[in-house]
Amino acid sequence: MKFEAPGERAAEDRAWAVVRRAYAEREPVAWPRRHARPLVAGALVAAAVAAVLSPPGRSVVHSLRKAVGVQHAQTELSSLPAPGRLLVSGPGGTWIVNQDGSRRRLGSYRDAAWSPHGLFVAATKPSELVALDPKGNVRWTLPRPSPRFPAWTGTRADTRIAYLSGGKLHVVAGDGTGDRTIGPAAAVPPVWRPGRVIVYSDGHGLVAYDLLSGSFRHTTLRPAGPAIRRRAGLSEVVSHRRVVFRGTGTFGQVVRSPDGRWLLVTWPTADQWVFVRPGPPRHIVGGSRVSSQFGGFPRIEGWCCAG
The whole-model pTM stands at 0.77
- Which ranges of the chain have pLDDT less than 50? 1-4, 19, 22-71
8-304 classified as CATH 2.120.10: yes
pLDDT of res. 32: 38
pLDDT of res. 13: 60
The size of the chain, in residues, is 307
206 Cβ contact list (under 8 Å, min separation 6): 19, 199, 200, 218, 219, 220, 221
pLDDT of res. 9: 57
State pLDDT tens for residues 28-82. Answer: 434 333 333 443 333 333 333 333 334 433 443 444 444 444 445 666 777 899 9
What are the boundaries of each domain within the chain? 8-304
pLDDT of res. 252: 96
pLDDT of res. 72: 53
pLDDT of res. 36: 37
pLDDT of res. 12: 59
State pLDDT tens for residues 106-139. Answer: 999 999 999 999 999 999 999 999 999 999 999 9
